[in-house]
Structure 1
């Protein structure tokens, strides 16, 4: 009898536990559906993985590119003028880190110069990332002229709002509202920059700004 009694008691306890679990599940609210983020709609907006897509949706997205979301840049160009990135609002700005000893940098300079000259909504600023002096750089540019302004930046204290160059050339695309939208490490073509501008919400290649 004792054995039968123990079996009956265990069965009753099991039934009570099962009923309690069912009541608890019935009272628990349903799990909320995951929120849709702006990044989730990137493909629908025309973005492709590994290419320039849309403008960063948050400071974290910009920081993932290694720079500030709204970078600042104030430098003195070789002609003695002050260049302030904040004054370029309304235009797409290509910030190009380069050096005279960098062969890929020299190869892309004519394309960047043509882009600056031919596209009214785009301008380029060249930042010479090397230990040199203005006169030496001016003499160099006499043999490789460009239409865009060039400034020398200190390799020991580069612009803080942009990625520190780990290789050259390094090119950053800044949107008309001042946001950093794309960073290229290595040589870039004018066509790639125009594609990045279009992907970030700007005009298509060949279209007026």
Structure 2
């Protein structure tokens, strides 16, 4: 009996506080201040270009340029350090990059991370292919903003996007598509 009285009393206090928060204020709210004009955000590609270009600094200090890989198949893999499926596919993509002379892989880290932190991460999760950190607020202009991670593009030797994979991809899937398209 004592507990039920305490419970009802506590519920009454909670209800009173909730209703007090919902009541109208005696004073009208102050008018919203006009915000200063913001710089216009860079245009984001609605779709990936048929023949995308990409030239960005890699984590190792080099410059990665997609055009330098013409004549070869290129796997462009958008991923992030916090993405479990991305981490799972990294070793397989690394092996693919090392094993196949006609296929190159580049990892585009779609992540808000500093270069030194990415370098430390890559010591724990090493890969044989170059990693580029992509600015999430200004992604590469010729690639659509990823709708999910991982997102992988397979670029044909002529530089044209041959296939897009949404979600994890295996070396076997990439090699099967390359065999059909070669």
TM-score by length of 2: 0.73
Distance 2:108 2:52 in 1: 15
TM-score by length of 1: 0.64
Structure-1 residue corresponding to 2:171:
190
Distance 2:145 2:176 in 1: 24
Structure 2 unaligned blocks of 5 or more:
1-45
Structure-1 residue corresponding to 2:75:
94
Structure-2 residue corresponding to 1:111:
92
Q: 1:196 to 1:163 in 2, by over 3 A?
A: farther
SS in 2 for 1:138: helix
4+ runs deviating over 6 angstroms? none
Q: State how many pairs are aligned.
A: 137
Computed over aligned residues only, the root mean square deviation of the Cα atoms, in angstroms, reads 1.1
Return the index of the structure with the highest Cα Rg.
1
Structure 1 unaligned blocks of 5 or more:
1-64, 203-209
Distance 2:92 2:74 in 1: 15
SS in 1 for 2:74: strand
Deviation at 1:92, TM superposition (A): 0.4
Structure-1 residue corresponding to 2:35:
none
1:57-94 CA deviation, whole Å, 9 max, x = no partner? xxxxxxxx931111000011011111111111111000
1:22-74 CA deviation, whole Å, 9 max, x = no partner? xxxxxxxxxxxxxxxxxxxxxxxxxxxxxxxxxxxxxxxxxxx9311110000
Deviation at 1:149, TM superposition (A): 0.5
2:55 pairs with 63, 69, 74, which one? 74
